[in-house]
Amino acid sequence: MPPRKIIIDTDPGQDDAVAILLALASPEEIAVLGITTVAGNVPLDLTTRNARIVCELAGKTGTRIFAGCDRPLKRPLVTAEHVHGKTGLDGPTLPDPTMPVEDTHAVDFIIDTLRGEPAGTVTLCPLGPLTNIATALHRAPEIADRIQEIVLMGGAYFEVGNITPTAEFNIYVDPEAAEAVFASGVPITVMPLDVTHKALVTTPRNDAFRALGTPVGLAVAQMTDFFERFDKEKYGSDGAPLHDPCVTAYLIRPELFTGRHINVEIETRSALTLGMTVADWWGVTDRAPNATFMGALDAEGFFALLTERLARL
């Protein structure tokens, strides 16, 4: 099988960084056509900068990076420096990036790529708020039929929320964009907090990254050290959840994940539950299924894959 062609849409973020590294380390399974950036964890200038830093860390300076939307569709931007630090990539000390950003806007790149590649051969992998994807679908509705699949990190059902009591960050930041994407008819696979909170970087797992003895292994260990302090305090867990790498791991080893094909709707009006992913896990409505919502993860298999692939960079 030829590698699967993907566009990574991202707001790095330490866990975005690990997701990107995993994809770039896996050319047999994944061909990264481009990385598009969006405002989310930190503002757009920083997410774009961080995407370049990560590609340079991986030694993949030929990767094409496109800057996208700098704010949500209808709301002011909410960021998450309290989790990711001031730069969004706090932890390791990495050099200022020198590789270029493409002149084309991320939304134009997404549209042009989907028009140019054979229908059904390009997968979109959003790791941040869905602003770029929703904007592309709005501007060129015909691309919906050409997208192979959208595999995204966002939402929660049993874990409910992380930025509010009922909402996960990526969906909360741009709920109107999420609503448009979930209504698009494109096949969607969702990695919610229910799964990503099972991808915990325990001390032995982080030691395994560090023990790779490479710049990538050390940087990943330092990134995880930085942002796990937040989750340890908040949840009392053994380590930080690696949210976004669940998306790229799924493309390589889908059998590590199990879930249900269900209806998922996005709350856009309630003050209390704005951005909630209302997931009909138990099938109590007759609303049509529109997403495969993951619920379980083989965490040992996930970390074995991640460590093995990061060792290649």
Taking CB under 5 A as the binding criterion, the range among 11-19, 44-52, 75-83, 111-119 that sits at the site for Ca ion is 11-19
Q: How far apart are CA 68 and CA 38, in angstroms?
A: 5
Look-up of token digits 């990943």: 220
For 297, the token pair is 């993860």
CB closer to Ca ion out of 146 and 161: 161
Nearest distance, CB of residue 81 and Ca ion, angstroms:
13
For 283, the token pair is 């099938």
Looking at 9, 16, 149, 231, which residue binds Ca ion (CB under 5 A)? 16
Nearest distance, CB of residue 12 and Ca ion, angstroms:
7
Is 85 one of the binding residues for Ca ion (CB under 5 A)? no
Tell me the DSSP string of 59-98.
T-TT--EEE--SS-SSS-----HHHH-SSSS-SS--PPP-
Nearest distance, CB of residue 119 and Ca ion, angstroms:
28
Q: How far apart are CA 166 and CA 27, in angstroms?
A: 37
The residues with which 34 forms a beta bridge, in sequence order, are 7
For 49, the token pair is 């900068």
Taking CB under 5 A as the binding criterion, the range among 6-14, 64-72, 94-102, 260-268 that sits at the site for Ca ion is 6-14
Nearest distance, CB of residue 11 and Ca ion, angstroms:
5
CB closer to Ca ion out of 239 and 245: 245
Q: Which residues contact 286 (CB under 8 A, 6 or more apart)?
A: none
Active site residue 243: yes
Q: How far apart are CA 10 and CA 40, in angstroms?
A: 8
CB closer to Ca ion out of 79 and 206: 79
Q: Which residues contact 186 (CB under 8 A, 6 or more apart)?
A: 144, 147, 149, 150
**Binding string, 118-147, against Ca ion, x = CB under 5 A?**
---------xx-------------------
Nearest distance, CB of residue 154 and Ca ion, angstroms:
9
Q: Burial level of 82, CB count in 10 A (0-12/13-18/19+)? A: exposed
Beta-strand pair 291-297/257-262? antiparallel
For the beta carbon of residue 95, count every other beta carbon within 10 angstroms.
8
Choose the catalytic residue: 105, 138, 243, 261.
Answer: 243
Is 13 one of the binding residues for Ca ion (CB under 5 A)? yes
**Binding string, 244-283, against Ca ion, x = CB under 5 A?**
x---------------------------------------
CB closer to Ca ion out of 170 and 206: 170
CB closer to Ca ion out of 113 and 162: 162
Q: Burial level of 56, CB count in 10 A (0-12/13-18/19+)? A: middle
CB closer to Ca ion out of 154 and 280: 154
Nearest distance, CB of residue 41 and Ca ion, angstroms:
6
Nearest distance, CB of residue 244 and Ca ion, angstroms:
5
Is 34 one of the binding residues for Ca ion (CB under 5 A)? no
The answer to whether 281 touches 181, Cβ cutoff 8 Å, is: no
Residue among 279, 285, 270 nearest 158 (CA): 279
CB closer to Ca ion out of 16 and 280: 16
List interacting residues with Ca ion (CB under 5 A). Answer: 11, 13, 16, 127-128, 244
The catalytic residues are 243
